[in-house]
Amino acid sequence: MGTLSELLEKCSPEMRQEIDEEVEKLREEVMASLGPAENIATGQDDTSTLVPQMP
């Protein structure tokens, strides 16, 4: 079994276009399920608590 890029190279342009469209749809679904970007950026927990602070 080849890598994804090897498989894509063997695909016809039509197939590649279809795959690109599917990937785009999935990407949008994932982004939508993650919620607004602000939530991701701020996060529920403050990352500064994970990093040891210099006194």
**What was the pLDDT predicted at 24?**
93
Phi, psi of 36 (to 5 degrees): -60, 145
The CA distance from 33 to 27, in Å, is 10
Task: Specify the 3-state DSSP secondary structure of 43.
Answer: coil
- For the chain, give every domain's residue range: 1-29
Confidence of residue 55 (pLDDT cuts 50, 70, 90): low
User: pLDDT digit string (tens) for 25-45?
Assistant: 999 888 888 766 555 555 555
Please check whether residue 34 is in contact with residue 40, taking contact to mean a CB–CB distance below 8 angstroms: yes
User: pLDDT digit string (tens) for 11-29?
Assistant: 888 988 998 899 999 998 8
Whole-prediction pTM value?
A: 0.45
**Amino acid of residue 55:** P
- C-alpha distances in Å from residue 29, one per residue of 5, 24, 34, 47: 23, 9, 9, 26
Compare 47 and 26 and report the one with higher pLDDT.
Answer: 26
